[in-house]
Each structure stands twice: as C-alpha cells, then as structure tokens.
C-alpha cells in the first residue's frame, strides 16, 4: 500500500491542476472577467489626456445590458497573483480604477460575480460634482464641452457630429429631494423631475433625473442642488 501512496498523490495533483484549467476555461467561455491590461490601456488615456479636463472625471463602469439585469449584489474584483482587491461600485455601477504596475505585469483580471454577457465594462467620463451643490451655468457648459472633446479624442464615431445639449443630474429614487433651482437668472425654467438612467442610452438602474437644457436657459446663473447627485452626465444632440 505504501508504494501506491506517491502514485495517488501525483494523480490528485494532476486532477487538481486539470480542475483549475477547466475552471479557467469556463471563465473564458462565460466571459465573467476582463483583462486588467485591456482596461488599463483604456483608462490611462484620460490620465494622459492633455486638453482641459478640470471639470470632468473618469471611472471604470459596469453597465447592465438591459433592464432585467440589476446591479444589486454585483461585485467587481481585481484578481491576480500579486493583487486581490475589491472595487466598490457606486449606485451607477462606477468604480475608481486602480493603476497598479504589479497588476499590469501579472495581467490580472477584473472579475464580476455575475455572467458578464449580461453586462458591459467600460470607461465612463462624467462631470465632477461639487461639494457645495452649486454649479455655475458657464462651468456646466464648459464641462459638457470637455466631455465631448475627450470622447472625440478617443475616437468615438458617434461624437464627431454631436453638440452639447445640456446636463443630466441623477439622484437616488428614495430619501433624496432632487429639486434643483436656478439662481441669478430671469425667467428661470422649471426643471422637471423624471425617472431615467444616470447616463443617456444606458439600460442601467433608474434614478430621479433632472435635465438642464442649454438652449432653453440663460447663459449665466447658478444651479443649486439640495441633495447630492449620484452622477452628472453630459447630454448631446
């Protein structure tokens, strides 16, 4: 019996290795992960972007492909030989992207705990929120232009002929008053509260949204928010 023990141990090791390979193959087939290097190359473009960007920000985002795929319970993890890091998602599915040389060298994975064919993983550029909740109209126009310029810079085909139309503020559906008032402008328009996604065209979670249209508004003044927005998106036409 003792002579069989090394043989059994070797067989167990081989079976374990085969199981690990099979698990990797399932992950590849199901697509539950994205290469960290691929995401890094996508995200580093914003860091190296040389044009004005002081009013905007970049995140890594997980977006449901349809309304039937919720972000509830979805977790994003950076996993590799030298790094294991949970990347918390905000209500709009955005995470702060970690720029780690070790993860790049290891070609670590960005792993979802869901089937990735139900989601998209992408860069999302949005307008930076202000802590005091007060936004100059001129700054919002400039921020929208900065988003548009960046999207053109990275080669988004649909953006080449687009123009800035306004901005969209998104707030939680419960427990937050989304009222926004325009201060310092005559004949201020009434800003309606609607239900929609944080970013135009997304199939992501629904929020209370308030859109401010540049064409219908004064060139000067301030937008004052009562609650803290989940996200501020540029809108184009």
Report how far residue 76's alpha carbon sits from residue 55's, in angstroms, rounded to the nearest whole number. 27
Domain that holds residue 90: 33-124
Last residue of a domain, one of 83, 104, 124: 124
Q: Are residues 66 and 147 in the same domain?
A: no
Q: Are residues 232 and 133 in the same domain?
A: yes
Predicted local confidence at residue 81, as pLDDT: 94
236 Cβ contact list (under 8 Å, min separation 6) = 148, 159, 162, 163, 164, 165, 200
DSSP, collapsed to helix, strand or coil, labels residue 149 as: helix
Run of H or E including 9: helix 5-30
Last residue of a domain, one of 124, 149, 165: 124
3 domain residue, yes or no: no
pLDDT mean over 101-119: 93
Q: Are residues 158 and 221 in the same domain?
A: yes
**At 25, is the pLDDT very low, low, confident or very high (cuts 50, 70, 90)?**
very low
48 domain residue, yes or no: yes
Predicted local confidence at residue 202, as pLDDT: 92
Token pair for 91: 């209500």
226 domain residue, yes or no: yes
pLDDT digits (tens, 9 = 90+) for 162-215: 999 999 999 999 988 898 998 876 666 678 999 999 999 999 899 999 999 998
Whether the pLDDT of residue 145 is over 50: the answer is yes
Last residue of a domain, one of 124, 159, 176: 124
Report how far residue 88's alpha carbon sits from residue 94's, in angstroms, rounded to the nearest whole number. 8
Whether the pLDDT of residue 139 is over 60: the answer is yes
Q: Are residues 182 and 110 in the same domain?
A: no
9 domain residue, yes or no: no
1 domain residue, yes or no: no
191 domain residue, yes or no: yes
Q: Are residues 102 and 169 in the same domain?
A: no
Q: Are residues 83 and 62 in the same domain?
A: yes
Number of domains observed in the structure of the chain: 2
Most confident range, picked from 26-40, 105-119, 180-194: 105-119
pTM as predicted: 0.84
């Amino acid at each position: 019996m003792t002579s069989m023990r090394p043989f059994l141990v070797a067989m167990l090791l081989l079976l374990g290795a085969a199981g690990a390979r099979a698990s990797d193959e399932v992950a590849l087939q199901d697509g539950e992960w994205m290469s960290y290097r691929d995401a890094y190359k996508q995200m580093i473009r914003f860091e190296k972007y040389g044009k004005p960007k002081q009013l905007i920000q970049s995140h890594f985002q997980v977006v449901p492909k349809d309304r039937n795929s919720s972000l509830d319970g979805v977790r994003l993890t950076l996993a590799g030989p030298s790094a294991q890091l949970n990347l918390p998602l905000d209500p709009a599915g955005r995470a702060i992207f970690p720029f780690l040389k070790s993860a790049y060298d290891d070609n670590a994975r960005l792993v979802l705990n869901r089937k990735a064919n139900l989601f998209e993983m992408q860069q999302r550029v949005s307008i930076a929120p202000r802590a005091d909740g007060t936004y100059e109209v001129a700054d919002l126009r400039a921020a929208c232009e900065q988003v548009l310029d960046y999207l053109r810079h990275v080669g988004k085909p649909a953006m080449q002929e687009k123009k800035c139309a306004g901005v969209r503020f998104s707030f939680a559906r419960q427990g937050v008053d989304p009222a926004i008032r325009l201060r310092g402008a005559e004949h201020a328009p009434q800003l309606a509260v609607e239900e929609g996604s944080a970013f135009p065209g997304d199939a992501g979670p629904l929020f209370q949204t308030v859109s401010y249209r540049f064409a219908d508004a004064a060139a000067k003044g301030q937008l004052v928010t009562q609650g803290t927005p989940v996200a501020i998106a540029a809108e184009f036409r």
